[in-house]
Amino acid sequence: MPWDKRRPAAGKQEANIEEWEAPLLVMGTEASWQQAPENTLESLRHAIQHLDGVEFDIRITHDQQLVIHHDRTVSIPKEHLDGRDRWVEAWTLEELEEVGFLGFERFLCDPVVKDHWVNHGKMGTVEIKRPHPTAPMGGGYLGKNSHIDHIARAMTMADELLSEHEVPHENMVFYSFHKHMPASAKRSGTTRPWAALIPYIRPYGGRRIERLLTLPTFLTTSFKRLRTTHLKQGSSMLPCAMEYFQDSTAWLPIGRSVGLHGAALNRLHRARAGMPTYVWPARPQHEHNLLRAGLTALTDMADPNITTLASGHARWVQPATRPLTESQWLRLEAEPEHLHGEKIDELLAEVPSWAEADRSRRATLIEEWRKQWQWSTSTDELLKRFDGATPPVAAPRLIGHRGSGKTSRPVLTTLHSR
């Protein structure tokens, strides 16, 4: 049954960040599942187990701590603000945790999260959010130096916590809608991977205005030019909008288009030359082709019971941390829809994780990936660099967006008692 006939209602279940020993959710075993609110411990914990990793958002609180929260305003019902400032940066971490939001350090301390992030090669994609220019620490509309310093401070604070909890450098990346990301990275002193999000979305205005203002950059930036820009900035990966690959919009940017099929796919491989490429939003009709093109997909669909995508393909949710060889992919693609669940279970019993795979299987996988996606790094070098639990950084991954997916507003409708 296609995904859209099985998706549970979003935003109906409150995450309880006190229940650190909640039942684990493992791929392919749940009889039923309800999506937790985005960026909560329950949502993040589920996704980091079920998928190849998680994407989430961090902000600096009024008392100089880090909280996991996407929106500029505190995402609770307005009547519960109790006359307090609406901006997240005006609240202390304790105040935000009291209503149900998750501190970054608390997230790192969770034993399930830490085990998968540190020991199972899962990826953490950390988006650093700038405050609204008029919010505390916002720096005003023209405060360039303040904006650079704010992102740098967030990187430094997060870096220290990640190191304290022994998260490997290869298992995470910082990124931000921040045009001065190279300056912030330099000021922070971090040695961890980072990238700017381009086109740059300003931290003010409504969603429609935000998107409209990005249009000129998108139209004048081909995929090849986008990669060149990231290389010049020093980015470790290439975050990229889905509009570069879908037929309805791929032709819009000036220059040669890329895509997920035929000659356009070949141009994509030549243009990115093995650079890790993260694509959002990865809708179910595109997910399979993105992964098979060697791209990492950020998904809002983390339902563990989905076996068939809207495209008609069987769904494999850990392409990096439990990777399939080409012959196994072809076997999975050949199965009729009514046998997808059975074939997935069969492969789960057969396929080792990257952490469990021996050198021979790893060499086979890397050689196939190098050939398919035109990687230039040698097999021996990649085997040496990624000899632990973490797969190669350019391997395609399926990443949970804001944990188990974006949910409705306000994010929290049932609050913890204060």
Is residue 152 included in any domain, yes or no? yes
Q: Which residue has the tokens 């996606």?
A: 373
Distance set, CA 408 to CA 35, 275, 415 (Å): 11, 33, 15
Distance set, CA 380 to CA 174, 221, 236, 387, 394 (Å): 28, 35, 21, 10, 15
Is residue 168 included in any domain, yes or no? yes
pLDDT score at 266: 96
pLDDT score at 155: 98
Distance set, CA 71 to CA 67, 107, 369 (Å): 11, 18, 37
Is residue 59 included in any domain, yes or no? yes
- The Cα 398–Cα 276 span in angstroms is 13
**DSSP characters over 191-253:** -S-EEE-SSPPPSSS-HHHHHHHHHHHHHT--HHHHHHHHHHHT-SSEEEEGGGTSTTTTT-S
pLDDT exceeds cutoff 80 at 11: no
Q: Which residue has the tokens 């505390």?
A: 136
**Quick count: other Cβ atoms within 10 Å of Cβ 355?**
14
Sequence-ordered list of residues with C-beta below 8 angstroms from that of 290, at least 6 positions apart, any chain: 245, 260, 279, 282, 296, 297, 396
For the segment 131-139, the average pLDDT, to the nearest whole number, is: 97
Helix (H, G, I), strand (E, B) or coil at 322: coil
pLDDT score at 416: 74
pLDDT exceeds cutoff 50 at 298: yes
Q: Which residue has the tokens 């958002």?
A: 57
Q: pTM of this prediction?
A: 0.92
For the segment 197-204, the average pLDDT, to the nearest whole number, is: 94
Is residue 258 included in any domain, yes or no? no
pLDDT exceeds cutoff 60 at 69: yes
For the segment 404-409, the average pLDDT, to the nearest whole number, is: 98
What is the extent of the structural domain holding 76? 36-193
**Quick count: other Cβ atoms within 10 Å of Cβ 142?**
8
Is residue 97 included in any domain, yes or no? yes
pLDDT score at 415: 84
pLDDT exceeds cutoff 50 at 318: yes
The 3-state secondary structure of 242-287 reads: HHHCCCCCCCCCCCCCCCCCHHHHHHHHHHHCCCCEEEECCCHHHH
Look at residues 273, 197, 267 and name the one whose alpha carbon lies nearest to residue 233: 197
pLDDT tens, residue by residue, 89-105: 999 999 999 999 999 99
pLDDT score at 23: 31
Is residue 51 included in any domain, yes or no? yes
Q: Which two tokens stand for residue 382?
A: 């990649």
Q: Which residue has the tokens 């929260």?
A: 69
What H or E segment, with its residue span, contains residue 157?
helix 144-164
Number of domains in the chain: 1
Sequence-ordered list of residues with C-beta below 8 angstroms from that of 296, at least 6 positions apart, any chain: 52, 276, 277, 278, 279, 290, 320, 396, 397, 398, 399
CATH of the domain at 151: 3.20.20.190
Bond prior to 392 in cis (omega within 30° of 0): no
pLDDT score at 284: 95
- The Cα 125–Cα 120 span in angstroms is 15
- The Cα 266–Cα 248 span in angstroms is 19
Is residue 392 included in any domain, yes or no? no
Mean per-residue pLDDT over the chain, rounded? 92
Helix (H, G, I), strand (E, B) or coil at 26: coil
Is residue 227 included in any domain, yes or no? no
At 30, the pLDDT band (50, 70, 90 cuts) reads low
